Amino acid sequence: MVQIWVGVSVESARYKLGRFFLCRLEHNSAFVQSIINFVKKKRVKMAVFAVVGAVKQAKLACYDQVKHEYQQIKLYKPLEIASCFGNLSLKAGEPFVHIHAVLADEKGKTYAGHMINATVFAAELHLQELIGKKLEREYDQPTGLALWELGDDRINPLRR
């Protein structure tokens, strides 16, 4: 195993629980865009969510940790959404969802990773709105990803 750091602190922000929604994504709709449309309509700024259902096809991705780019995994077949959850925050001022999923075919074989998009067959969304500090994703040099800028929690006015 490579060397790891154990003494580092975890950056965090504290939230109040806002509205909780159960939603039904439309048959044949675009998975990610439907979630974005929903949170925009309801003016949800921050959230955590999960999805149970099935898709007609999907595009997943795995992030190449050396090249700092996503490798796409295209799946042109019907799949169960065996697990799917993520969060909503902001990127460049716009709602941005970060979703990972495990999909399964008719033999129970699984495909998993970062969810880029999918076509909904049937999907039930459980979404918990979070009220508090607006989280913006910013470019992070070591990973090449857009990560949360949580800052030092000594200055987080919401902490206990």
**Contacts (CB under 8 A) with its own copies, residues 27-66:** 27-30, 33-35, 37-38, 41-42, 46, 48, 50, 52, 54, 56-57, 59-60, 62-66
Give the nearer residue to its own copies in terms of CB position, either 93 or 108: 108
Q: How far apart are CA 80 and CA 122, in angstroms?
A: 9
- Centroid of chain to Cα 104: 19
Q: How far apart are CA 44 and CA 48, in angstroms?
A: 11
Helices marked H in 55-160 — which ranges? none
Interface with its own copies (CB under 8 A), residue from 90, 91, 111, 116: 111
Nearest approach in angstroms of CB 69 to its own copies is: 11
Query: Are 82 and 141 spatial neighbours (Cβ–Cβ below 8 Å)?
Result: no
Interface with its own copies (CB under 8 A), residue from 96, 124, 138, 152: 124
Interface with its own copies (CB under 8 A), residue from 69, 110, 134, 138: 110
Give the nearer residue to its own copies in terms of CB position, either 95 or 135: 135
Q: Count CB-CB contacts under 10 A for residue 107.
A: 6
